[in-house]
Amino acid sequence: MRPPGRPRWSAVRALVTDVDGVLTDGGLYYAEKGDELKRFDVRDGQGLVLLREAGILVAIITRKQTTIVTRRARDLGLTEVHQNAGDKAAVLTALLARHDIPAAHAAYVGDDVGDLPAMRKVGLPIAVKDAVPQVRRAARYVTTSGGGHGAIREIADLILAARHR
């Protein structure tokens, strides 16, 4: 069941996102010596920086724990990075409470079934274009770009444009 109504981009005070399949293209690349590599889109990163600079809380919640995500978040100036999160909805709820942001003013971006509980907690659940069908159905907005290929920048531009109207 799709949430009713059109997205209220101007109401968003927090953008929370998954990593694999949202900030990345979902591929996991392994080097011969076992190193794991991830591909991030530079425009998505710039979108997150623009949101942060505009006073929007930007946070990452992911089930995995990697130094790659820690480094990417540090490069973007993100301080709310929650890795090894077995219960994304609980982490999200605590995060919003700590920053005194009502769930109705938060957006969560996901791509797979592990994101559904967190998506159900926010006012603006978002799915990337190449998310699994259940996640697309649960979203109020589905991006025109795929995960790791500009989806986050698309969202950032919509939020920032709505705030400047």
Mean pLDDT score across all residues of the chain: 94
For 56, the token pair is 């929007």
pLDDT 10s digits, 72-104: 999 999 999 999 999 999 999 999 999 999 999
Euclidean distance between CA atoms 78 and 81, whole angstroms: 7
| Whole-number pLDDT of residue 59 | 98
Predicted confidence (pLDDT) at residue 4 exceeds the cutoff of 60: no
Check residue 138 and give its pLDDT.
Answer: 97
Burial of 53 (0-12, 13-18, 19+ CB in 10 A): exposed
Domain boundaries, given as residue ranges, for the chain: 9-163
Dihedral angle over CA of 140, 143, 148, 150, nearest 10: -130
pLDDT for the residue numbered 165: 72
pLDDT tens for residues 97-132? 999 999 999 999 999 999 999 999 999 999 999 999
Q: CATH classification of 9-163 is 3.40.50.1000, yes or no?
A: yes
Question: pLDDT value at position 7?
Answer: 76
Q: In sequence order, what DSSP letters do the residues of 9-53 get, joined into one string?
A: GGG--EEEE-STTTTB-S--EE-TTS-EE--B-HHHHHHHHHHHH
